[in-house]
């Protein structure tokens, strides 16, 4: 999660303090929108979005729900998200909350039709106490017939430690050239994936401005996730192998879950 000015990693800012980079990497990602729209459509009422970020998913939810409570600890992401909602004329449909669910009573218990955690938000919370508190708070927020929907990644098998991968290589709207390299390192004992980005913006005169960003995430194993959900009070847990609701199997892409009280 965001650590405010300068981020939690010394001189390297947290990815979520650099909304321009986050948007470059992910604003066009749409694969999960249909899944989360279905959750809001099937469960009319007020919902909670955990880790709403820069409101990539929130407008779709806000159009379908009675109201959305958007929980987002990063001030930079909240500001970008609020601006995006205003541009869609949806600002009245969304209430922002800066305090993570696991850190305090940021939503009232019991009344919500759905709680969602789109795009690996469950991978952002450190084990074990933080994860347990978050899942218990998600369970507590739900109405008896409510649902908690999420996606989360498993231990990755495609990480070449410390090998840079080119993720962005294009000219931006101002005619500057932008390249972004990502360097990942996965520690299977700590289940920790550390990503670093090196972003170079080259101007017309050849001047290069470089910036860095960093993100730490935790992978989930299957039964660890199922047990954590059950321990948090979810009685009915359905886990899928991707957003298309395939069974969890050898072709696992990411865990996608629907958990009910």
Ligand X SMILES: C[S@@+](CC[C@H](N)C(=O)[O-])C[C@H]1O[C@@H](n2cnc3c(N)ncnc32)[C@H](O)[C@@H]1O
Task: Give the three-class secondary structure for 20.
Answer: helix
> For residues 39 and 77, which CB has a smaller minimum distance to ligand X in the complex?
77
User: Least separation, in Å, of the C-beta of 13 and ligand X?
Assistant: 12
> For residues 39 and 57, which CB has a smaller minimum distance to ligand X in the complex?
57
Measured CA to CA in angstroms, residue 219 lies from 59, 240, 254, 257 at distances of: 28, 16, 10, 15
> For residues 31 and 145, which CB has a smaller minimum distance to ligand X in the complex?
31
User: Least separation, in Å, of the C-beta of 252 and ligand X?
Assistant: 19
Which spans in the chain are helix H? Answer: 19-26, 33-42, 58-64, 75-87, 129-141, 222-231
User: Least separation, in Å, of the C-beta of 161 and ligand X?
Assistant: 21
Across 83-235, the runs of DSSP E, i.e. the strands, are: 94-97, 112-117, 142-152, 164-171, 177-187, 192-202, 208-218
Alpha-carbon distance of 242 to 257, in angstroms, equals 9
Alpha-carbon distance of 48 to 235, in angstroms, equals 20
Alpha-carbon distance of 56 to 77, in angstroms, equals 10
User: Least separation, in Å, of the C-beta of 250 and ligand X?
Assistant: 26
Q: Is 69 exposed, middle or buried (0-12, 13-18, 19+ CB in 10 A)?
A: buried
> For residues 46 and 123, which CB has a smaller minimum distance to ligand X in the complex?
123
Q: How far apart are the first and last CA of the chain?
A: 27
User: Least separation, in Å, of the C-beta of 49 and ligand X?
Assistant: 7
Task: Give the three-class secondary structure for 85.
Answer: helix
Q: Which residues make up the interface to ligand X (CB under 6 A)?
A: 1-2, 16, 26, 50-53, 56-57, 71-74, 77, 100, 102, 118-121, 124-125
> For residues 43 and 56, which CB has a smaller minimum distance to ligand X in the complex?
56
> For residues 125 and 135, which CB has a smaller minimum distance to ligand X in the complex?
125
User: Least separation, in Å, of the C-beta of 25 and ligand X?
Assistant: 9
């Amino acid at each position: 999660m965001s650590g405010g000015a300068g981020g939690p990693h010394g001189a390297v800012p947290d990815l979520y303090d650099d909304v321009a980079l986050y948007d470059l990497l992910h604003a066009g990602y749409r694969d999960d929108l249909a899944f989360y729209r279905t959750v809001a459509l099937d469960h009319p009422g007020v919902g909670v979005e955990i880790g709403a970020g820069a409101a990539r998913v929130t407008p779709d939810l806000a159009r379908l729900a009675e109201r959305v409570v958007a929980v987002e600890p990063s001030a930079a992401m909240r500001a970008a998200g609020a601006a995006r909602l205003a541009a869609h004329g949806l600002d009245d449909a969304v209430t922002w909350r800066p305090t993570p669910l696991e850190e305090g009573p940021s939503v009232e218990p019991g009344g919500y039709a759905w709680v969602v955690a789109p795009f690996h938000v469950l991978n952002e919370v450190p084990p074990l106490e933080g994860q347990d508190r978050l899942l218990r708070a998600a369970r507590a927020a739900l109405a008896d017939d409510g649902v908690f929907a999420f996606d989360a990644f498993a231990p990755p098998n495609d990480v070449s430690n410390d090998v840079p991968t080119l993720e962005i290589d294009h000219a931006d709207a101002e005619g500057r050239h932008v390249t972004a390299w990502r360097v990942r390192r996965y520690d299977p004992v700590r289940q920790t994936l550390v990503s670093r980005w090196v972003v170079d913006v080259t101007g017309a005169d050849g001047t290069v401005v470089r910036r860095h960003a960093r993100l730490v995430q935790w992978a989930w194993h299957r039964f660890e996730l199922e047990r954590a959900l059950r321990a948090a009070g979810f009685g009915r847990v359905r886990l899928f192998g991707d957003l298309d609701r395939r069974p969890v199997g050898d072709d696992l892409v990411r865990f996608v879950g629907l958990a009910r009280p």
